Every structure is written in C-alpha cells, then in structure tokens.
Amino acid sequence: MTEQVRFLAGTTALVLDSPHSGTAYPADFRHACALSELRRAEDTHVDKLYDFAPALGVAWIEALFPRSYLDANRHPAEIDQSLLDAPWPGEIATDPGLLAKVRLGKGLVWRCTDDGLPIYDRKLPVGEVQARIEHCWNPYHASVAQAIDQAHAKHGFSIHINCHSMPAIAGSHATDFPGAAHADFVVGDRDGSTAAPALSQRVCDHLRGLGYSVDYNHPYKGVELVRRHGQPARHRHSIQLEVNRKLYMDEQTLQPHGGFGRLRDDLQSLVRRLLETDPRKLA
C-alpha cells in the first residue's frame, strides 16, 4: 500500500501484524541520541520469527518505519505537546489510559527511550508530526483493516494477532511496572473486550503446553491495534502477543542466539493451531 508498510494478503481467516519491527530510519528523523540506543526500541527480529506465515496463507502486515519515529500502536491523539514547536491543531487525548504513555514519553511520537534517554534536542514542527501520521500511521492501519475485512468476508470470522517482543526486564520508562521481570509470553485482549476469552485461553494453553510461562493481560493488555480492530461480537478477534526477547536474542548485541529456531518453530505450531480454530465454535 505504501513504501512505509509491507502488506502481504492472505487466504485464511488469520491476520498477523508487526508494528514495531521496522528498521528503515527515515532521512527526516533527526534524532539526538545514538542509533544504537534507538534500535533497542525495536521489536527486533519479530518479522523474521514469523516469516513462515505468508506461505501458510496468513496475511502479514509489517511497519518498515521504526517505532521511535512513529508508534503505530498508539492512538493518533496521544500527542506529547512538550515535543512540539506550536499548539497541536487536532485531537489531543484526555483519557487517563492514553495519557499514561504520553507521560512516560511514549506517545504517538516518542520523547525518550525505554531508559529515559531524550531522543530529540529540538522541538518538532507540527507539520512534521502530521506528515508522519499521513505517511506511516494511516497506511499501516488501513492495511490491517483491509486484511481483517478480507479475512472476515471470506470466512465469516477473523483472528488477528498483533505481534510484539518485550525485554526480559522492563525499562524505567517502558511501562507502569519498571524493573518487572517478564514471563516468556504475555497474551492480551484488553480484558476480553477485543477477543473471545476462550480464544485467548487457547493461545495461553498452547504456549504453556510447549513449556513456556504465560501471563494474561498483565502487564500488557493490548493497545491501539487490538482496540481498534478487535470486535468479538462481530466475530473479529484481536489479540496482542508479546514474546520475551531473552528467548531468541542477545539483548545487548541484538543478535539472535540458539533459541531462535526453537521459538520460530513453536510460533509456527501456534499459528497452525489458530488456522484450525473457529472461534464461533469455542465454548
């Protein structure tokens, strides 16, 4: 749909997307901190962990732009006005849940890294942020919506997995639980509002059966992509799936380690299980 988004259409009811694994840093991203620090914000290698999906007929959407440039998993009203050189002319979030991330410096456009390091040494022009929304956020969400619509129209239901990775230990500015040690996986459906709990439980049970520790809706419930696209009453199910980076990579060098192959195989077994699942038949 755009050079900022990779979109591979599918034939099944399953849709996967990776909003945070992009590594194409735009020329207009004039950041002050080192690129090595920004790269720690990426959901590193998530695109490679799921590279088997298109061959199985699964739709795949991937942001090519980096998360620190614009976060496609945030609401467009999550504007950090302290970053701007003029008042924002559009909607600004007032909901406490949305404002929490803005206060941490993790709004639509990040103010700082997970460890609190400032990203900019300048104010951002309003037009620059508007352009990021137009060229990155809008086409990304349009691609996800298109894939889900196509899956739902063909099969009568859709299952959307929003694919992420998380550090082994939460950073000081990453979540409301700094320093928390994460489970191997976190499955989030915003307390059952974006997917049928029975479907989310099937995901949890499958991963636990493979020997992984799994938390449900803590500390990650799912954010904008599942909130916007998950409508279980209409048989549109969206789940955010976080995988612990320690399972597949060295968090300092960002290089995959020996666990990568096993994790990829286990994720493929989960995807195959979901391809066999009709949420309308789950109790």
Other CB atoms within a 10 A radius of the CB of residue 37 amount to: 15
Mean pLDDT by 10 residues, the chain (283 residues): 86 98 94 91 96 98 97 97 96 90 94 92 97 97 98 98 95 75 97 98 98 97 97 98 98 96 98 98 85
Alpha carbon distances (Å) from 58 to 101, 146, 148, 224, 231: 31, 13, 11, 21, 20
* pLDDT for residue 171: 75
d(CA 120, CA 38) in angstroms, rounded, equals 11
3-state SS, residue 84: strand
Dist CA 163 CA 28 (whole Å): 27
Q: What residue ranges do the domains of the chain occupy? A: 5-281
Which CATH entry fits the domain spanning 5-281: 3.30.379.10, 3.40.630.40, 3.20.20.120, 3.40.50.920? 3.40.630.40
Amino acid at 155: H
Helix (H, G, I), strand (E, B) or coil at 55: helix
DSSP characters for 90-130?
S-----HHHHHHHHTTBSSSBSB-TT--B--SSPBPHHHHH
Q: Are 241 and 194 in contact (CB under 8 A)?
A: no
Residues 1/143, Cβ–Cβ less than 8 Å: yes
pLDDT (0 to 100) of residue 221: 95
pLDDT score, position 1: 41
